[in-house]
Amino acid sequence: MMNYSAGPATDQPGTPHEPPDEPPAIRARALTVVRGPRTVLRDLDFSVPPGQITGLLGPSGCGKSTLMRSVVGTQAKVTGTLEVLGRPAGDAALRSRIGYVTQAPSVYDDLTVRQNLEYFAAVLDPGRAAAAHRRTNVTRAITSVALTSHTDALAGNLSGGQRSRVSLAVALLGNPELLVLDEPTVGLDPVLRRDLWNLFHSIADSGTTILVSSHVMDEAERCHRLLLMREGEILADGTPDALRSGDETVEDAFLRLVDEADARRQHGTATSDPAEEAAR
């Protein structure tokens, strides 16, 4: 178990280096993904420490979703090394250990909220013997995304934000060891966003690793650790505090890193980035 003090958002200490006795939850070496003619991810090296919230930040189209799909094992043409929870990504044994929320809510519009969750719970935990356990899990998941009052509404009749919360609830069902969340807070109001981040923190406090993407930089402050991405490459990797210098916001830091990277590229210096070193 990790020993983070409970409590939401604000500057979590988030150890800059993972503890030596705990292997990383995700470890990538020379990870490259090609989609059609494009190389979407280029030679990435990073690791995600266990029991923490790692934010994957970058502009849309920079490869965040592709990276997440690779971790979950639904992305084709992945080369290099990608280990998730100690196994190669996509290994069949990982399927019940990872919760995954796609960017577009993936739920059945012609089922109610409860029926959606009941089905996915039955896939995770099949059989009559587990029925009581499933019911508890379903109710708990609905409660944690604050949809108790919409339990019997058809998913198709819900608002966009509500549907994405149903999708999130599905991922929470099986007590996964790793939660991969692709922009889970897009289109939500500030109160709900804060509540969800509090939820993510309490989930992480119980030992679950969370990899969450966002293109909203202010959410970066709420992560223990950040991976800043741009055009298929990782610009920086570290705690929010380590990435900032002085009074910078994470957004400022991101822009500075982008400018530095562009300047380096113009000077024709080679690939490995000093920015990453500096950030540590």
Partner 1 sequence: MTMHTAPDTPETRRPAAISWARTTATAARVLRQLRHDPRSIALMLLVPCVMLFLLRYVFDGDPRTFDNIGASLLGIFPLVTMFLVTSIATLRERTSGTLERLLAMPLGKADLIMGYALAFGTLAIIQSALATGLALWVLGLDVVGSPWLLLVVALLDALLGTALGLFVSAFAASEFQAVQFMPAVIFPQLLLCGLFTPRPNMQPVLEAISNVLPMSYAVDGMNEVLKHTDLTANFVRDAVVVAAVAALVLVLGAATLRRRTA
Q: Could you list the residues that contact partner 1 (CB under 8 A)?
A: 22-23, 25, 35-36, 50-51, 72-78, 85-86, 90, 92-98, 100, 102, 104-111, 115, 119-120, 122-124, 126-128, 154, 170, 175-177, 206-209
Quickly list DSSP for 37-67.
Answer: TEEEEEEEEEEE-TTSEEEEE--TTSSHHHH
The least distance separating partner 1 from the CB of residue 3, rounded to whole angstroms, comes to 13
Q: Report the residue number, 110 or 247, with the smaller CB distance to partner 1.
A: 110
Least distance to partner 1, CB of residue 214, Å: 19
In the complex with partner 1, the residue whose CB is nearer, 118 or 251, is 118
Which CB sits closer to partner 1, 185 or 261? 185
For residue 220, what are the CA distances in angstroms to 157, 182, 235, 269?
32, 14, 15, 29
Residue at token pair 């030992």: 207
Minimal distance in Å, beta carbon 97 to partner 1? Answer: 6
Between CA 201 and CA 7 the distance in angstroms is 7
Residue closer to partner 1 by CB (options 12, 112) is: 112
Of 55 and 73, the one with the shorter C-beta distance to partner 1 is: 73
DSSP 8-state class, residue 155 = G
Write down the least CB distance from residue 235 to partner 1, Å. Answer: 25
Nearest to 234 by CA among 42, 94, 104, 97: 42
CB of 267 to partner 1, least distance (A): 35
Q: Is 175 helix (H, G, I), strand (E, B) or coil?
A: coil
Nearest to 155 by CA among 119, 122, 107: 107
